[in-house]
Amino acid sequence: MSHFRPVALNHASRLVNHGPTVLVSAAHAGRRNIMAAAWSMPVEFTPPRIAVVLDKSTWTRELIAASGSFGIIVPGPALMDFTYAVGSESGRDMDKFAHYGVEACAGPELGMPIIERGCSAWLECRWLPEPRSEEAYDTFFGEVVAAAADARIFDNGHWNFTADNAELHTLHHLGAGKFVTAGNQIQARIPNGK
């Protein structure tokens, strides 16, 4: 049984606000692909928009330009090796999903490849072309049109990292295949605040 539930679009930016390493997926003309991206961030609440840096060498970038859409998937520790692998080789000559035995399905709005098993969230984005940003800074923008998260770790618009859902904690890349998982959630209060 899937624990994924739709996330209200005005909360979608929270899914990547804390800087997880994500997977960027795309599909066009019967081919699909996925790559790792450490550099993504929200840039607008409403409408929800996000930015991701996609090097000119990536095949994912070409698929996005061809299809006008992309997916963002937030993987957990079970997909760490997969994340590293799809960030280390191109999908031009292989189907990375089939090669690594990872099941993807088509997102509900744009048909982008999404993964739920071993992941905590996904978003489907409509590409917002910005030729200057793409050429000069490799930065792609997208408007989130659908999002969902595993309710065991993201519910009612908020993450909740606990010892009980450690298998869903997000991955954060330190370099050379070394990651830390998010955890040790702590709560701030404004000193002398009401």
Ligand X SMILES: Cc1cc2nc3c(=O)[nH]c(=O)nc-3n(C[C@H](O)[C@H](O)[C@H](O)COP(=O)(O)O)c2cc1C
Q: CA dihedral in degrees (63, 118, 74, 76; nearest 10)?
A: -130
Among 76, 91, 113, 118, binds ligand X (CB under 6 A): 91
Closer residue to ligand X, CB minimum distance, 8 or 174: 174
Tell me the residue number closest to ligand X, measured at CB.
Answer: 87
The answer to whether 104 contacts ligand X (rule: CB under 6 A) is no
In contact, 27 and 113? CB cutoff 8 Å: yes
The answer to whether 36 contacts ligand X (rule: CB under 6 A) is yes
The answer to whether 113 contacts ligand X (rule: CB under 6 A) is no
The answer to whether 33 contacts ligand X (rule: CB under 6 A) is yes
Among 5, 8, 55, 105, binds ligand X (CB under 6 A): 55
The answer to whether 39 contacts ligand X (rule: CB under 6 A) is yes
Instruction: Classify burial at 147, counting beta carbons within 10 Å of its beta carbon; exposed 0-12, middle 13-18, buried 19 or more.
Output: buried
Length of the chain equals 194
Closer residue to ligand X, CB minimum distance, 35 or 144: 35
SS (H, E, C) 43-58: EECCCCEEEEECCCCC
The answer to whether 73 contacts ligand X (rule: CB under 6 A) is no
> CB under 6 A: which stretch of 83-91, 101-109, 120-128, 160-168 binds ligand X?
83-91
The answer to whether 53 contacts ligand X (rule: CB under 6 A) is yes
The answer to whether 110 contacts ligand X (rule: CB under 6 A) is no
Compute the least distance from the CB of residue 21 to ligand X, in Å. Answer: 5
Interface contacts to ligand X, rule CB under 6 A: 21, 33, 35-39, 53-55, 58-60, 84, 87-91, 173
